[in-house]
């Protein structure tokens, strides 16, 4: 049985963080950065939260809520990941849908996120859920791909 849960801490998803570092394409400005490092840097800030799907007691995905700069009315989707064994089951989309519910319940006015240009799976999810590209930074990633910035306005949804 798969359930969607709020994780208590990074230690709840240690194995997933290790797996996700190989799937993560860092920016050229921070070439050694991993999802764990991003989350550790924000874990004591508001509105830091970790959510994800758990199957048979083991976490199989995560999505993170991070502050978006100095904005208090916008939340950012930070690192997110679905384990290889669970891909193709719609969990990535479902966790973004659950994140939208969370952001709405917390009365945020928008959700910001970004992904790299070769991550077409995430791009399809964001765009199908109404996120709009608000900027692109060419050759931003260590693999030479771009970074796409997305925003979902929650005041018109």
Average pLDDT over residues 85-109: 96
Q: Is the pLDDT of residue 146 over 70?
A: yes
Assign residue 112 the CATH number of its domain. Answer: 3.40.630.30
pLDDT of 117 > 80? The answer is: yes
Q: How far apart are the first and last CA of the chain?
A: 31
Q: What is the pTM of this model?
A: 0.94
Does the pLDDT value for residue 157 go beyond 80? no
* Residue 3: band (very low, low, confident or very high) from pLDDT cuts 50, 70, 90: very high
Long-range CB contacts for residues 23-31, cutoff 8 Å, separation at least 24: 23/81, 24/79, 25/116, 25/118, 25/119, 25/141, 25/142, 25/143, 25/145, 26/141, 26/142, 27/140, 27/141, 27/142, 27/147, 28/139, 28/140, 28/141, 28/142, 29/140, 31/142
Provide the angle, in degrees to the nearest 10, between the axes of the packed helices 120-128 and 91-105: 50
How many distinct structural domains can be found in the chain? 1
| Residue 28: per-residue pLDDT | 93
* Phi/psi-derived region of residue 139, left when phi > 0, alpha when psi is between -120 and 50, beta in every other case: left
Task: Give the residue-averaged pLDDT of 105-126.
Answer: 96
What's the pLDDT score for residue 156?
Answer: 66
In angstroms, the CA 20 to CA 34 distance is 8
Instruction: Assess whether the previous peptide bond of 47 is cis (omega < 30° from 0).
Output: yes
Q: Which residues pair with 149 in a beta bridge?
A: 114, 135
The predicted-structure confidence for 48-64, as pLDDT tens digits, reads as follows 999 999 999 999 999 99
Q: Does pLDDT of 73 surpass 70?
A: yes
Q: Is the pLDDT of residue 86 over 80?
A: yes
Asked whether residue 31 carries a pLDDT value surpassing 80, the answer given is yes
pLDDT for 95:
97
Q: Region 103-113: what's the mean pLDDT?
A: 97
> Which residue range is the domain that position 6 belongs to?
2-153
Instruction: Work out the average pLDDT over 114-139.
Output: 96
């Amino acid at each position: 049985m798969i359930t969607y849960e709020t994780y208590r801490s990074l230690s709840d998803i240690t194995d997933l963080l290790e797996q996700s570092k190989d799937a993560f394409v860092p920016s050229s400005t921070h070439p050694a950065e991993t999802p764990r490092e991003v989350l550790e840097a924000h874990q004591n800030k508001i509105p830091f939260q970790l959510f994800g799907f758990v199957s048979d007691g083991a976490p199989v995905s995560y999505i993170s809520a991070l502050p978006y700069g100095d904005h208090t009315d916008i939340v950012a989707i930070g690192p997110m990941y679905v384990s290889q064994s669970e891909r193709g089951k719609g969990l990535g989309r479902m966790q973004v849908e659950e994140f939208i519910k969370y952001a709405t319940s917390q009365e945020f006015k928008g959700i910001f996120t970004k992904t790299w240009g070769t991550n077409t799976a995430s791009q399809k999810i964001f765009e199908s859920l109404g996120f709009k590209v608000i900027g692109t930074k060419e050759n931003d990633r260590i693999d030479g791909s771009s970074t796409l910035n997305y925003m979902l306005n929650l005041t018109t949804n």
